[in-house]
Amino acid sequence: MDTRPIIDESQGPVSLCASFNTDSTCFSIGTDTGFCVFNSDPCELRVSRNMNAGIGIAEMLGNYNYLALVGGGKNPRWPQTKVIIWDDAKQKTAVTLEHKTALLRVRLTRTHIAVALQNSIHLYQFSSPPTRLAVFETADNHLGLCCLGTSLLAFPGRSPGKIQLVELKTNNVSIIPAHASALRALDLSSDGTLLASASETGTLIRVFSTQNCAKLAELRRGVDPAFIFSIAISPDTSLLAVTSDKSTLHVFDLTQLPGRSRPSSLSISASPSAKSNSTSSRGRSQSPNVSSPSAAADDESPQNKWGFFSKIPLLPRIFSDTYSIASTHFEMGDEGTQTGSSLSYLPALGSMPARPMKGIIGWRDNSTILVIGTGRDGRWERFRVSDRVVTNSNGTEELKKDVWKDGWKRYLGS
């Protein structure tokens, strides 16, 4: 007789979604029983609310005063067609928005609410009751791509690969022909001056000016196609970080864009080897997982990857493209291990993502990158970006950057 106990894989919390607030000081997660809010750095639980049902979307405004909640998981708290704006101070619903199809993303500011559906973006004034300001048609937007700033709203256009950029004051719409294939990631800089995008191919990231919609840069993540998880521009707009299903975090230099320059003073941080402690799972201390650009495995190389080959005419464009200045690996866990095509990460039409979200980026400051993922192995990771001076063979000094993992934690077990 087999008397071994049955392993119940349903035990323990499961995070269904995760997102940072505007300045990445906090992040919220929706679980199969409610939602939680964590301080970003250090990763510490701040609020936990048990609703006895699943939350599939949890987007924060500020430091969790208001949250946009949508039901999710096997036992959703609300239908996936309803948005609940939750007032956590009063522990009650402040605003309710209902739609006919499933909600894929909600964005909040103090003045506006943006709701992403499969083929449309609904813009509301944040008031009680809310006022619908506009509805914009989009191409199929399986991932609910939508960026809402204080003055701009960005989302996919009506044709695959295009971006619609809306001025909130005037509702003027600009169309940016960003890519030849469907969009997979968008990010609007905190000051609203830059817009970054990636397509389903995942090899190039393009950066545009929001003032005139001009393309400012084309950044090559790699040669092989990949599913881009997240794009994020640093607070001072000098760097851009990208994660993909290659389990690699790339950092690009944006100081070479028109009208921008590298800081005149060198800011030299301690090297990775000088770090002796990091935050580990369940509070245990361990040595940092140091990884230099040369150690990463996904097309990691300096910006001038091909040297003088980049100046030879008629060679393929990969020789002249701009590459990342530093890269390292982040942890995806077993749930994030890819089996088959990158398209396996796509959710079913009109439903929440079937696979855990991984590689979500937040810039805590201009030298600290936070990466979080969802699932049963909900994980928080911290990476540092530092400058170092390299002396060339001709005796001149050159400033380069390194990125390395400085700490990690399984936030569900905290």
Pick the closest to residue 150 from 175, 137, 167, 133 (CA basis): 167
Domain tally, the chain: 1
Residue 200 is part of a domain; what is its CATH number? Answer: 2.130.10.10
User: And the tokens for 160?
Assistant: 């695959």
Q: What is the pLDDT of residue 141?
A: 97
In this prediction, residue 388 carries a pLDDT of 86
How much is the pLDDT for 261? 53
Mean pLDDT, 10 residues at a time, the chain of 414 residues:
49 89 96 96 95 96 89 95 95 94 96 97 94 97 96 98 97 96 97 97 96 94 93 97 97 81 43 41 38 38 44 46 92 66 41 73 97 94 92 82 95 78
Cβ burial of 65 (10 Å; 0-12, 13-18, 19+) is middle
Is residue 366 in some structural domain? yes
CB–CB of 323/220 below 8 Å? yes
Coil, strand or helix at 390:
strand
For residue 361, give its domain range.
Answer: 15-339+355-413
In a domain, residue 234? The reply is yes
pTM here? 0.83
Would you state the pLDDT for residue 223? Answer: 87
The confidence score (pLDDT) of residue 34 equals 96
DSSP per residue, 254-289? -TTSTT----SS--BPPPGGG---EE-GGG-EE---
| pLDDT value, residue 65 | 85
Residue corresponding to tokens 């605003």: 95
CA separation for the pair 167, 411 (Å, rounded): 37
Positions of E strands within 215-345: 215-220, 228-233, 239-244, 248-253, 278-279, 285-286, 322-323, 326-329
**Residue 294 has what pLDDT?**
35
Lookup: tokens for 196: 């970054």
Asked whether residue 312 is assigned to any structural domain, the reply reads yes
Q: What is the reported pLDDT for 338?
A: 47
pLDDT of residue 260: 59
Q: Is 183 domain-assigned?
A: yes
Report yes or no on 5 lying in a domain: no
Specify the length of the chain in residues. Answer: 414
Answer yes or no: is 7 within a domain: no
**What is the model's pLDDT at position 322?**
87
Q: Is residue 147 part of a domain?
A: yes
CA dist 45 to 24, 35, 48, 160, Å? Answer: 15, 11, 8, 40
